[in-house]
Amino acid sequence: MTTSLAPTDESIAQLRTVAEKLLGAGAVTLESIDGGRNSRVYRLRAASGCYAFKTYFRHASDARARMDTEFGALRFLWDNGERRVPEPVVAGAQYDCAIYEWIEGERAGAGEISERDIHAATDFLIRLREWKDRPGTEHLRPASEACFSARALVECLRGRLEPLLARTDHAELSDYLRRDLTPVLNEICAAAEMQLGGAFDRDLPDQFRTLSPSDFGFHNALRRNGELVFLDFEYFGWDDPVKMICDFLLHPGMTASPELKRLYAATLGREFPEAAGRVPVFFPLFGLKWCLILLNEFLPAQLLRRKFAGMNERDIEARQSEQLSKARSMLRVVLAGASHFPYGD
């Protein structure tokens, strides 16, 4: 199925036909809801019940198989008894879409985050580590942009920076990148190489890697009957626990208080002792990565994803301005974190 940049009556009709074929049911209805920025999500109603129907963006510039990854991850989790994620129902690989259990609940990130929520999140991640030797894990890929050495992470940062520097048509973006971000990136990368010494180039051994949703946090969770259900496994796979820790602490959409972030870092630091000592060094590096992720809105392929998810030109311009402001704020976090890790003891 071709992916149009905005849903139309015709494309909705096509999706209904696909949904009916996948479910083996007739007379389904689709209601568009707020989904991710890389996909469209619909509430699907059929005689057999209510489901989430998700269509995924695919572009030649992005080799990630989002649907395969997410459906496979949720299938693995359900097969191992995990029930705090949506049940995968059926996938349509040829259509880049899948059907999942409908989760009725409220966005967890929209309300107050509690200590109980932190424990629910860390317990989930610890269970993933405990399942790393279960049948089926041999088929799981590395998480999206998994970097198993500091050298690989630095190369990832520079790879993300290069296409942004090529956007010379946007003066404010160019000024921020050349005057502010690039000098800090060079300084932080050099400091990490000096601090890590020979470990800078050394890959993390397999026994210290873990399974991770990669894009994990309360922004991707629903509260159902007081319990958290975790969503969005498009980036799932093998990863360095340091990334799992740092991304949660740095994510711009995270609403947890500094005290609760310290609880999160301390809990996972105890469970992943090999990672705990590396977190302060990697924290500013992952902060720089978040600066660059926030600026994805200026890249052509990302603009296509946003249009696919339903954003119009005015929304995109406003979002670019908002994201540039967030990138400036994140750079301040990086500079502060480089001198003192804010979530230690």
Pair (141, 287) in one structural domain: yes
The pLDDT score that the predictor gives to residue 1 is 41
Residue at which a domain ends, from 81, 102, 123? 102
Q: Is residue 47 part of a domain?
A: yes
Both 89 and 116 in one domain: the answer is no
Q: Using the 8-state DSSP alphabet, how is residue 103 labeled?
A: P
pLDDT at 197: 96
CB atoms within 10 A of CB 240: 28
pLDDT confidence of residue 309: 56
Question: Quick one: pLDDT at residue 99?
Answer: 97
Say what the pTM is. Answer: 0.90
The least confident of 32-41, 167-176, 179-188, 241-250 is 32-41
In this prediction, residue 292 has a pLDDT band, given cuts at 50, 70 and 90, of very high
Q: Is the pLDDT of residue 255 over 90?
A: no
Mean pLDDT of 180-185: 98
**Residue 59: strand pairing partners:** 62
Model pLDDT, residue 149: 98
Per-residue confidence at 10, pLDDT binned at 50, 70, 90? low
- In tens, the pLDDT along 269-289 reads 999 999 999 999 999 999 999
| Any domain includes 67 | yes
Q: What is the pLDDT of residue 25?
A: 80
Both 84 and 117 in a single domain?
no
Question: Of 105-114, 137-146, 313-322, where does the model show the most confidence?
Answer: 137-146
The domain boundary residue, chosen from 84, 102, 120: 102
Q: Does the residue 94 lie in any domain?
A: yes
Model pLDDT, residue 110: 74
> What b-and-e string marks burial along 135-148, b requiring 16 or more CB atoms within 10 Å of the CB?
eeeeebebbbbbbb
What is the pLDDT confidence band of residue 345, given thresholds at 50, 70 and 90? confident
Q: What does the angle CA 299 – CA 230 – CA 333 come to, to the nearest 5 degrees?
A: 50
Please determine, for residue 323, whether its predicted confidence score (pLDDT) is greater than 60: yes
**What CATH number has the domain bearing residue 73?**
3.30.200.20
Task: For residues 132 and 70, give the distance between their C-alpha atoms in angstroms, rounded to a whole number.
Answer: 17
Mean pLDDT of 313-322: 84
Are the beta carbons of 208 and 273 closer than 8 angstroms? no
Strands (E), the chain: 29-33, 39-46, 49-56, 88-92, 97-101, 106-107, 210-212, 221-224, 227-230, 237-239
What's the mean pLDDT in 75-98?
95
| 125 has a pLDDT exceeding 90 | yes
| Domain range enclosing 79 | 9-102
- How many structural domains does the chain have? 2
